[in-house]
Amino acid sequence: MSTVVVPDVELILDLRELHTRPDSREAFGKLWGGLEPALYGRDLRSKTVHELQGPNGTLRIEVARIAAGTGLATPRTRFAVVAVREPSKLRHRCTECAEASIEEYGPFRCPEGPPAQEHRACNKHVVILDGSLAPRCGAHHPRCADCHSMATFWCAGKSCDRKTAWCDRHRRFRPQDQDVSYCPNCYTRQFPGCEYSGCRNIGTIACEHVSRALEPCGRRVCTLHARRWQVYGPERMGLGRCSQHARLAGVPVDDLILQIVAGTANRRRLERMPTLRGFAHNLRNARKPEPAPSYKVIFGTLGSLGDALGRAGGVPAAVKVGAALEKAMPGWREEYGELVVAAEEGERLAGQLRQVVQERLRDGYAIAANITLSEYKPQLRTLFINLDPDYRGRFIGTGGVHRQEYERRLGVAVRFEGDRQRKEGDRQRK
Residue 389, burial from CB neighbour count under 10 angstroms (0-12, 13-18, 19+)? exposed
Distances (CA, A) of 395 to 231, 363, 404, 420, 421: 33, 10, 11, 18, 18
3-state helix, strand, coil in the chain (%, to 5): 35, 20, 45
Establish if 278 belongs to a structural domain: no
Shared-domain flag, residues 50 and 121: no
Single-letter code of the amino acid located at 426:
D
**Mean of pLDDT over the chain:** 90
pLDDT at residue 425, rounded to an integer: 45
User: Residue 205: in which H helix or E strand, if any?
Assistant: strand 205-206
Residue 421 in this model has a pLDDT that exceeds 90: no
Residue 87 in this model has a pLDDT that exceeds 90: no
Shared-domain flag, residues 72 and 109: no
Q: Which of 67-81, 190-204, 224-238, 304-318 has the lowest mean pLDDT?
A: 304-318
Q: What average pLDDT does this structure show over 34-38?
A: 91
Residue 108, burial from CB neighbour count under 10 angstroms (0-12, 13-18, 19+)? buried
pTM of the model: 0.60
pLDDT at residue 285, rounded to an integer: 87
pLDDT at residue 419, rounded to an integer: 67
Shared-domain flag, residues 131 and 145: yes
Single-letter code of the amino acid located at 282:
N
Model confidence over 89-141: pLDDT tens digits?
888 899 999 999 898 999 999 988 777 678 999 999 999 999 999 999 999 99
338: Cβ contacts below 8 Å, ≥ 6 apart: none
Residue 420's pLDDT band (cuts 50, 70, 90): very low
Q: Which of 190-199, 251-260, 327-336, 343-352 has the lowest mean pLDDT?
A: 190-199
Distances (CA, A) of 227 to 13, 23, 359, 376: 81, 81, 49, 32
Residue 273 in this model has a pLDDT that exceeds 50: yes
Share of the chain above pLDDT 70, in %: 95
CA 107 to centroid of chain Cα atoms: 36
Which of 244, 262, 282 is the endpoint of a domain?
244
CA 164 – CA 184 distance, rounded (Å): 12
Range of the domain at 184: 95-188
CA 165 – CA 193 distance, rounded (Å): 24
Residue 69 in this model has a pLDDT that exceeds 60: yes
Q: What average pLDDT does this structure show over 264-288?
A: 90
CA 399 – CA 414 distance, rounded (Å): 15
Establish if 4 belongs to a structural domain: no
Q: What average pLDDT does this structure show over 55-66?
A: 93
The domain that contains 384 carries what CATH number?
3.30.300.20
Which of 188, 203, 236 is the endpoint of a domain?
188
Shared-domain flag, residues 129 and 163: yes
- Strand ranges (E), 311-386: 372-377, 382-386
Residue 194 is given by DSSP the state P
Residues 79 and 11: beta-carbon distance below 8 Å: yes
- Structural domains in the chain (count): 4
Residue 287 in this model has a pLDDT that exceeds 90: no
CA 401 – CA 395 distance, rounded (Å): 9
Model confidence over 339-371: pLDDT tens digits?
999 999 999 999 999 999 999 998 899 999 999
Establish if 322 belongs to a structural domain: no
Q: What average pLDDT does this structure show over 325-346?
A: 94
Residue 313's pLDDT band (cuts 50, 70, 90): low
Shared-domain flag, residues 100 and 168: yes
Residue 424 in this model has a pLDDT that exceeds 90: no
Which of 169, 188, 207 is the endpoint of a domain?
188
Residues 108 and 120: beta-carbon distance below 8 Å: yes
Establish if 140 belongs to a structural domain: yes
Pairing outcome for strands 413-416 and 382-386: parallel
pLDDT at residue 1, rounded to an integer: 56
Residue 205 in this model has a pLDDT that exceeds 50: yes
pLDDT at residue 168, rounded to an integer: 96
Residue 374's pLDDT band (cuts 50, 70, 90): confident
CA 417 – CA 423 distance, rounded (Å): 9
Shared-domain flag, residues 70 and 120: no
Residue 51's pLDDT band (cuts 50, 70, 90): very high
The domain that contains 38 carries what CATH number?
3.10.330
